[in-house]
Amino acid sequence: MTLGEKLAGIRKDNNLTQEQFAELLRVSRQSVSKWELNSAYPETDKLIRISKTFHCSLDYLLKDEIEQMDVTLAAAGEEAHRDWTKAVILTYLSFPPVFGWIVGIFSLVHQRRCVHNKAMTALTVLGMVVSVALTAAMAVGILLGL
């Protein structure tokens, strides 16, 4: 697949006319037409803008042997990495609230049996309320896909 074929494919996949594509890149429609016919080639800054705007690599654009499948696999790999990062962050954030609940329960049981200090009991309950709030915020974040 030539650069011109790839540019035409990107443009058509995004339902853009040559005129609209040209406006995005701040060039003339005739330039886009020449690119697609392989009678001229875009400047480097235009290729970089195309790459960033339409989420395709420069390798895909410039190398004839690289097909869209490689670009799709790269994008899928990046998305999987972002999902993995989110999972790690959510797992890390879930430990303090759960730990707060467990410590709070044991603390309340101990205070009820051995210590009769209302200030300590109030602080323990406050800590548990904060843990519940953090757990709720985490659950909302998971439900909203944040």
Q: What long-range pairs does 76-80 form, CB within 8 A, spacing at least 24?
A: none
DSSP 29: H
Number of domains composing the chain: 2
Indicate whether 60 and 25 sit together in one domain.
yes
Q: Which of 82, 49, 78 is nearest to 58 (CA)?
A: 49
Return the pLDDT at 84: 67
Task: State which of 66, 85, 119 marks the end of a domain.
Answer: 66
Q: Are the C-beta atoms of residues 34 and 3 closer than 8 Å to each other? A: no
Q: Along the chain (146 residues), what's the average pLDDT of each consecutive run of 10 residues?
A: 91 93 93 94 92 88 67 63 68 66 74 73 78 77 70
- Identity of the amino acid at 76: A
Indicate whether 40 and 83 sit together in one domain.
no
Indicate whether 22 and 58 sit together in one domain.
yes
What's the CA gap between 25 and 35, in Å, rounded? 12
Return the pLDDT at 35: 93
Indicate whether 57 and 22 sit together in one domain.
yes
Indicate whether 58 and 78 sit together in one domain.
no
Model pTM score: 0.46
- Which pair of structure tokens corresponds to residue 122? 């109030």
